[in-house]
Amino acid sequence: MKKKKVVIIHTSLVSFDYLKRLFEQIIPEADVYNIVDDRLLAEVMENSAVTNSIIQRMKNHINSAENLGADAILSQCSSMGPAVDILSKSVRTPILKIDLAMAEKAVAIGKKIAVVATVASTVKPSCRLIKESAKRIGKDVEISEELVDGALDVLLYQGCEEKHNEMVLQKIRFLEGKYDVIVLAQGSMTRLLPLLKNIKTPILTSPELGVRKMRNLLGLD
């Protein structure tokens, strides 16, 4: 069988190796190509929103993915959600937001949902995605926005994973037991999973769920 071709658009290298391993494990039938633009997220953070310039750059990356013959495109960064919503309407190749499956699972689990993010630009897109997922199944949900301000800077620019993890852990411990489910908005937060074994509240991260949804999108299930 001819291998499927998936192009991942990254805004940093934080999840690069982890996603590579997930695709090898979950979709070995796919060849994965990577496009990395490490200025996209920085510009979203600087502007506190997705700008026209960012949308145009994402469009260029999507065009490149289509020129590669992609069967599907994965947008790795939650902050790019608004750009993907706009651009997906005008391209022929399916584009999957990595956090869509996580949002769908969150609303299936419960009504009270805490969204923990480490960058402000991710909060609104993540919450909107959860609300849209809830609306599709006719469910009312309560969403709490929980920003661990500065944690991503600590990880990306200071290279201090331990400090990043402790900042996020402190927030999760505070939220434990107060919500039906806790959503970790950034894929970079999967590094916390080994530290969360004693947390009783269900905690969701996006990469594995997103790759499994990509397998379904490719018609491989």
CATH number for the domain spanning 129: value is: 3.40.50.1860
10 Å CB burial of residue 49 (0-12, 13-18, 19+) is middle
- Kindly state whether residues 94 and 104 are assigned to the same domain: no
Name, in order, each residue with C-beta under 8 angstroms of 184's C-beta and a sequence gap of 6 or more. Answer: 116, 168, 190, 192, 203, 204, 205, 206
Number of domains in the chain: 2
- Kindly state whether residues 39 and 92 are assigned to the same domain: yes
Q: What are phi and psi of 9, to 5 degrees?
A: -100, 115
Domain that holds residue 49: 4-98+208-217
Of 99, 34, 31, 28, the closest CA to residue 71 belongs to 31
- Kindly state whether residues 17 and 68 are assigned to the same domain: yes
- Kindly state whether residues 185 and 93 are assigned to the same domain: no
- Kindly state whether residues 106 and 196 are assigned to the same domain: yes
pTM of the model: 0.93
- Kindly state whether residues 31 and 107 are assigned to the same domain: no
- Kindly state whether residues 68 and 43 are assigned to the same domain: yes
Residue 59 is encoded by which pair of tokens? 């469009």
- Kindly state whether residues 87 and 116 are assigned to the same domain: no
In the chain, % helix, strand, coil (3-state, to 5) comes to 50, 20, 30
Q: What is the pLDDT of residue 155?
A: 85
- Kindly state whether residues 130 and 89 are assigned to the same domain: no
Distance CA 38, CA 48 (A): 16
10 Å CB burial of residue 10 (0-12, 13-18, 19+) is buried
Tens of pLDDT along the chain (221 residues) come to 789 999 999 998 889 999 999 999 999 999 999 999 999 988 998 888 899 999 999 999 999 999 999 999 999 999 999 999 999 999 999 999 999 999 999 999 999 999 999 988 889 999 999 999 999 999 999 999 999 988 888 888 888 989 999 999 999 999 999 999 999 998 889 989 999 989 999 999 999 999 999 999 999 98
- Kindly state whether residues 38 and 80 are assigned to the same domain: yes
